[in-house]
A and B are shown apart, each in its own frame.
Chain A
């Protein structure tokens, strides 16, 4: 595990990147390339994407696992002088134009902060979900699927994540019910086709789970609509894939503005309402949340931090007539609290 060797004398970093997922790692790589004195603070390394079995929409890689992708970007970032602290940031405060980031054990000072904190899984708000969490109510098919060998399980959710979770579980489970609130499975077409071809996956439309029951382990889920004449499905596990919640609490406490969903508001330059504070990836209010868009935002944020700090970035294109690399950051400093 990469935790840098810290001394009592801490440096003033140019940028503190909060988040260890692909967005933060890509930002760290770019910040390192631009010679910014960079610290990345995040846990777990690789972020949530590491629990994805396969990724087929990241340009340049026809198919690879989420962990492979994260490991590749991590290895790339390590090619530059970047301090990496795989721990959770517990508090971030502002002192004039600078920021202090605390973890459970240490403190880091930086001139700019980039929130790449991502999201966490949304929990199912029904009786039994809390009681059985970790005891049959799970969030990672890849991590826990083998424990349900030859058993019936349910996946709750109607998006691409639910489709992929069902396909992962099909490697082990005997029967997978996908319980969908709406009237369709809104998955990527390629995954939808795979689901349709997998006989052991059954789609249950227009239905909500109202409770998860059993003693001592899960025995069934109760539905608000009958399915094949019954309002119960006998399952041993329930995998939740109903979306995610932005991890923006630290940013909010710092005064960063968010929308009604708790997503950090950014402009196209990834600036927030606070000068020197940037945000990128799934934690922001961008609509299309993908690894590739997060990575793109992360590197944009690293560049904007560089400009904010007054760096003189020399683009290879600077002498070309058709593309200019503006050096003046004033137009990007316009946003204030």
Chain B
């Protein structure tokens, strides 16, 4: 999908109108000779940007602007950094199509509001466990209907804690990462390269994994759905 279906577009426009607060900047990394998914992602993002005047768009040449790529932690393309009033660490790699379009929309809304929507007690619990930087990679595919649930939850944690950053990775576009991280099912999360789990987990269990990652202790895989 490189265009937004009309019925979905109307829903998104309305949601943006009701929920977007601060400006959001979508920084898209591609290259001059765009890869097939780079071109599709580019087209899709251009459409999304038009859905609200609070969204701006910047296209960065990944090959030429190494400094910008390094600054935003971009090491592969197509890549998207979703920036709000500040950089909350929300990144998407690969085309956010299919069900992942929902993750993109959630990311834009979270970046704009800066509100994690976690309860005060959940935020407090997160602060206690996310004592060190934790990079959460979530591997997804566009046909996975439950993947946006985990992606959005990770975004919530990133909004609530400056120690959390999130990479949503469309694994079909990065097969070498599927091999590296042994991704057979989605969603699969890898935290700080050491802690991993597969499937959906409720927020409390996700926090346990964040705590383990912050402490540097490895775990196995715990699928739940």
Contacts and interface: CB of A to CB of B under 8 A. Distances in A.
B91 to A, nearest CB: 18
Secondary structure call for the A interface: loop
B146 A51 contact: yes
B184 A146 contact: no
A104 interface: yes
Interface string B156-175: 10000000000000011000
Interface in B154-206: 156, 171-172, 178, 182-188, 198-200, 202-205
A142 B140 CA distance: 12
A106 B123 CA distance: 11
Nearest to A90: B204
Contacts of A106: 119, 121-122
Given A105-B121, A136-B184, A1 B156 contact: yes
Contact of B145 (A90, A143, A147): A143
B33 interface: no
Interface stretch (A40-48, A155-163, A284-292, A320-328): A40-48
B36 interface: no
B118 interface: yes
A314 interface: no
A50 B146 CA distance: 7
Interface string B80-107: 0000000000000000000100000010
Contact of A67 (B106, B145, B223): B145
B1 interface: no
A144 B199 CA distance: 10
Interface stretch (A2-10, A202-210, A264-272): A2-10
A67 B98 CA distance: 12
Interface string A87-104: 110100000000000011
Contacts of A121: 225
A65 interface: yes
Given A87-B204, A104-B202, A138-B184, A65 B145 contact: yes
B204 A104 contact: yes
Contacts, number: 118
Interface in A15-51: 43-46, 48, 50-51
Nearest to B223: A134
B187 to A, nearest CB: 8
Given A88-B202, A140-B225, A146-B141, A1 B117 contact: yes
B149 interface: yes
A44 B225 contact: yes
Contact of A134 (B145, B172, B185): B185
A44 B203 contact: no
Contacts of B24: none
A139 B199 CA distance: 10
A3 B144 contact: no
Interface of B: 99, 106, 117-122, 125, 141, 143-147, 149, 152-153, 156, 171-172, 178, 182-188, 198-200, 202-205, 207, 221, 223, 225
12 contacts: A1-B149, A1-B153, A2-B117, A5-B117, A43-B202, A133-B221, A134-B184, A134-B185, A136-B184, A143-B144, A146-B143, A147-B184
Given A7-B120, A142-B144, A237-B184, 9 more contacts: A3-B156, A5-B117, A43-B202, A65-B145, A134-B198, A135-B221, A143-B185, A146-B172, A147-B185
